[in-house]
Structure 1
Amino acid sequence: MKKNMTRMVAVVSLMTFTASCNKGDDMPPAQSRTITIENVLDSKPLVESGSFKGSGIPPVILPGQSVSFSFYAAKNQRLTFATMYGWSNDLFFAPENPGIQLYDGSGNPVTGDVSAQIKLWDNGTRINQAPGAAVMHPGTAEASVKNVKEVNGMDDYGHTYLAASQLMQVVLNYEGNSKFTLTIKNSSGGTVNETPFSPGVWAVSYVAGGNLLLPEPVYSAGKLSMNGLTNIAEMGDITPLSNYLTQQTGIFTPLSPVLVVVYEGAVNPFYKVGESDRGEGLKELAQKGNADILAAALKTKPGVRNVYVLKDAANTVLLPKINGAMGGKVSQQLSLLPGDRIALATMYGFSNDWFFATTGNDIDGAQNGNVSASVGLFDNGTAISQYPGAGITQANLAGTPLAESKNIQAVPNPNAYNTLPSVAGIVEVTLQ
């Protein structure tokens, strides 16, 4: 009997050991992988720029004539422009830097006559003759080029001028949803400084961290004229400066701290195109860049194995490339089992509620290398959209989003406001 009991214990022990070994064989060890998300956008400092001209041939703006153009702007952004005082050697009209104030201290759009913000400037490259139709162009060059200087009643050669606001009437009209229209009227007719205005250029700079990225895109008082302004001031030729401003105009956006989710299954755990926001925190990520609420909700969901919120060590947000400097980058080591998938999301920072997220079946944990093709750009449908980077209600531009209720959809490109780079030209994701 004792021998039989000993045999039974041995058999049971052997079975237990075998079962344990078989269970281990069925569970391959987790693999350690590193995911990296980088803002690779080659950013530009100007939101918008453009030109204006008269309707005649040549396309000057004669006394009594007007010209208008429209643009978008957020709080703290300014509008600047330049146009030649036509019957001069090298004088031009422009707002005093950093440009025309578009919102008051309470954040309300400025409307009406803003002519007082316009000044007359001497480009410093030609000797000034008495202003009038007899001025010869281009005239005599200065023996030594001077800095750009305001003409405040009298130039360096004793010629007198009325205030710019008596020669040019500038009126702002607010169209709604961050859109303005500026009208420039030549009101110099019948004055001692009657003059046509040349075609002109205009620009609006992005604001980041409360500062204009390019606060003096057209001229700098007390410095030499540059970037083609001389062509406008001397000849009314906008081509060089217009080309420069175009090169400085494009997309600028940070990316919010990045949500990374490791899960098992085949369905993204926090959103689906065509459905509305689930109220679990994606709205807060898409509108304000706050991923913490969604991260906390996901940690309670079945099938979700790990959740991370990755913040850039230097700036929290991932800045784009600025003046050649590399953009922000975050990395996270992941422990992945066979069949695991990876989802991520980050806010298009200068939007109302756009977010980048993995699409389709997200990222297979077994993939290797650049997986940026798995990322798309989506509209969360919870806030009214405005011009990206120039919206008065965009949270990251000191605004309060205006609620709407639509299903999540891909952001078209071109969209209603501009044309964006490819998603891979903004967000780069690698898995190694």
Structure 2
Amino acid sequence: MNTIKRIGKVATSSFLFIGGLVTMVSCTDDDVMSPTQASTITIENILESKALVQSGTFMGTGTPPLILPGQSFSIEFNAGAGQALSFATMYGWSNDLFFAPENPGINLYNMDGIPVTGDVSAQIKLWDNGTRINETPGMSLMHPGTAEATPGNVMEVNRTDAQGNTYLPASQLMKATLEYNGNSQFTLTIENTSKGTANETPFSPGVWTVSYAPDGDILNKTPIYAKGKPSANGLTNIAEMGDNSMLSKHLQDMTGIFTPLSPVLVVVYSGSEHPFYMKGEKDRGEGLSELAQTGNADVLVAALESKPGVKKVYVLKEAATTVLLPKIGTEAGGQVMQQLDVVKGDRVAIATMYGLSNDWFYASKDNGIDAMQKGDVSDQIQLYDNGTKKDQYPGANIRIDLPEMSLTESKAIEEVPNPNAFTTLPQIIKVTLN
């Protein structure tokens, strides 16, 4: 539960929520003629969330697929401000040593939110997996070697190991260079620079990952290893044998979608048109862009209050966390409920921000939902791109708008395809009328 509260606090600060429950009522002749019926709308975030945005593997091009001295490999990935890249690869001519950045990983943005580029080798360390007695490193070393009587914890190798063998700093054996490709995409190139040194060694196939970081708070700060704790989840297979298959599977199982939903705008209205958007037209400048970009519905609420046919407007907040968090572990996702007093002919429209995006929002399709309908109406909800901010990998978006990398655009509102250019989205929102 502490984790839920922490993430809720972090996710809430990613939006600009000010207003509470907002209600506006107007009456028409139909209200007098038709009996009022009570209906309860429930909106839920049913996403089974994952902690990692992306993960993958790397290897050399030969047989076996080692990265030999003088060779290099590259990783392309997406990341936003506050996120970090972690990876692991075996020091091949050792018993159980591996290279990896200090947790939570390589810093990808500076304090001003500018992407980091250039040499980041100083952030790479050499680690002892703690499962084998270290022999003198080199080509003649015997694998797998002698197991520790009692496995130790993962510890940094700082010049010497527990058996007194000496090592150059990792930054002298491995050169890591970051390139920013634009639109939150990076390329990390790692070169094996150990040739001719006292610690010449091949690198094994390895794994890499980027964790979600709502508002800059990384969800999983130890995705591959934890300093001072036993090796787990297949890391030993990399450190001892260069086999990345088990750890890769573990990371894949942790990789997927994480997003909160902003407080939900609910509108009861009558009429033949949706009250706040139309697919294929640009944002009307009435406040939908603020909701889609920040989760703040206040401007849109004010605009809706003066519109003909609009009867009631609500902004529904999850009681504990304000935003609707996804399912996290065994904890249910966030939900909000509201009783609606409606008459025949009324329609219901909703809108909520896809939290870890630049301007995506869920909304009722076409002319909203028939207020008399009962049951699951989720099939009448669609994810839209507001067209006012450039799209970036969801969950790895920069979420800043600096002049040198402006995100502003002006396009018509359109559905977000699924699969889309970045990923495939599972069902995230469930809407029920009862």
1:410 to 394, 398, 415: 415
Say whether residues 1:256 and 2:258 are aligned partners: no
Match of 1:84 in 2: 90
TM (norm. structure 1) is 0.91
Match of 1:224 in 2: 230
Say whether residues 1:430 and 2:432 are aligned partners: yes
The whole-number CA distance in structure 1 between the counterparts of 2:400 and 2:318 is 22
Match of 2:369 in 1: 363
1:135 Cα offset (Å): 1.3
The whole-number CA distance in structure 2 between the counterparts of 1:191 and 1:41 is 50
Segments of structure 1 that go 5 or more residues without pairing to the other structure are: 1-22
Further displaced range: 175-184 or 205-214: 205-214
1:121 Cα offset (Å): 0.3
Match of 2:177 in 1: 171
Equivalent residue of 1:188, what SS? coil
Matched letter for residue 361 of structure 2: F
Further displaced range: 227-236 or 307-316: 307-316
Match of 1:119 in 2: 125
Matched letter for residue 91 of structure 1: L
The 8 Å contact of residues 176 and 189 in structure 2, kept in 1 or not, is answered as yes
Distance of aligned partners of 1:183 and 1:333 in 2 relative to their CA distance in 1, 3 Å threshold: same
Distance of aligned partners of 1:36 and 1:24 in 2 relative to their CA distance in 1, 3 Å threshold: closer
1:209 Cα offset (Å): 4.6
Matched letter for residue 430 of structure 2: E
1:134 Cα offset (Å): 1.1
Match of 2:378 in 1: 372
Segments of structure 2 that go 5 or more residues without pairing to the other structure are: 1-28
CA deviations on 1:189-215 (whole Å, 9 max, x unpaired) are: 001110000011000000125421111
Matched letter for residue 410 of structure 2: S
Match of 2:167 in 1: 161
The 8 Å contact of residues 59 and 205 in structure 2, kept in 1 or not, is answered as yes
Match of 2:72 in 1: 66
RMSD: 1.6
Match of 1:32 in 2: 38
Distance of aligned partners of 1:262 and 1:401 in 2 relative to their CA distance in 1, 3 Å threshold: farther
The 8 Å contact of residues 81 and 216 in structure 2, kept in 1 or not, is answered as no
CA deviations on 1:217-236 (whole Å, 9 max, x unpaired) are: 00001000001000000000
Match of 2:134 in 1: 128
Distance of aligned partners of 1:29 and 1:88 in 2 relative to their CA distance in 1, 3 Å threshold: same
Distance of aligned partners of 1:41 and 1:239 in 2 relative to their CA distance in 1, 3 Å threshold: same
1:201-240 paired onto structure 2 within 5 Å: 201-240=207-246
CA deviations on 1:142-200 (whole Å, 9 max, x unpaired) are: 00000000010110011111110110011111111111100000000001110000011
The whole-number CA distance in structure 2 between the counterparts of 1:315 and 1:24 is 38
Match of 1:241 in 2: 247
CA deviations on 1:396-424 (whole Å, 9 max, x unpaired) are: xxxx9721010000001111111111xxx
Equivalent pairs, count: 404
1:28 Cα offset (Å): 3.0
The whole-number CA distance in structure 2 between the counterparts of 1:106 and 1:296 is 34
Distance of aligned partners of 1:26 and 1:387 in 2 relative to their CA distance in 1, 3 Å threshold: closer
The whole-number CA distance in structure 1 between the counterparts of 2:278 and 2:30 is 36
Matched letter for residue 416 of structure 2: V
Matched letter for residue 430 of structure 1: T
The whole-number CA distance in structure 2 between the counterparts of 1:278 and 1:25 is 29
Match of 1:192 in 2: 198
The whole-number CA distance in structure 2 between the counterparts of 1:104 and 1:333 is 47
Match of 1:143 in 2: 149
Highest relative contact order (Cα 8 Å, sep 6+), 1 or 2? 2
The 8 Å contact of residues 37 and 430 in structure 1, kept in 2 or not, is answered as yes
Segments of 4+ in structure 1 off by > 4 A? 23-26
1:384 to 387, 390, 411: 390
The whole-number CA distance in structure 2 between the counterparts of 1:336 and 1:66 is 65
The whole-number CA distance in structure 1 between the counterparts of 2:306 and 2:65 is 66
1:63 Cα offset (Å): 0.2
TM (norm. structure 2) is 0.91
Larger Cα Rg: Structure 1 or Structure 2? 1
Say whether residues 1:100 and 2:112 are aligned partners: no
Matched letter for residue 78 of structure 1: A
The 8 Å contact of residues 350 and 394 in structure 1, kept in 2 or not, is answered as no
2:355 to 327, 349, 352: 349
The whole-number CA distance in structure 2 between the counterparts of 1:342 and 1:24 is 16
The 8 Å contact of residues 120 and 150 in structure 1, kept in 2 or not, is answered as yes
The whole-number CA distance in structure 2 between the counterparts of 1:66 and 1:250 is 28
Equivalent residue of 1:197, what SS? coil
The 8 Å contact of residues 352 and 394 in structure 1, kept in 2 or not, is answered as no
Further displaced range: 385-394 or 302-311: 385-394
The 8 Å contact of residues 113 and 400 in structure 2, kept in 1 or not, is answered as no
Match of 1:12 in 2: none
Distance of aligned partners of 1:298 and 1:26 in 2 relative to their CA distance in 1, 3 Å threshold: closer
1:266 Cα offset (Å): 2.4
The whole-number CA distance in structure 1 between the counterparts of 2:111 and 2:414 is 36
The whole-number CA distance in structure 2 between the counterparts of 1:373 and 1:222 is 49
Distance of aligned partners of 1:394 and 1:412 in 2 relative to their CA distance in 1, 3 Å threshold: farther
Distance of aligned partners of 1:26 and 1:151 in 2 relative to their CA distance in 1, 3 Å threshold: closer
1:24 Cα offset (Å): 11
Distance of aligned partners of 1:375 and 1:188 in 2 relative to their CA distance in 1, 3 Å threshold: same
The 8 Å contact of residues 81 and 95 in structure 1, kept in 2 or not, is answered as yes
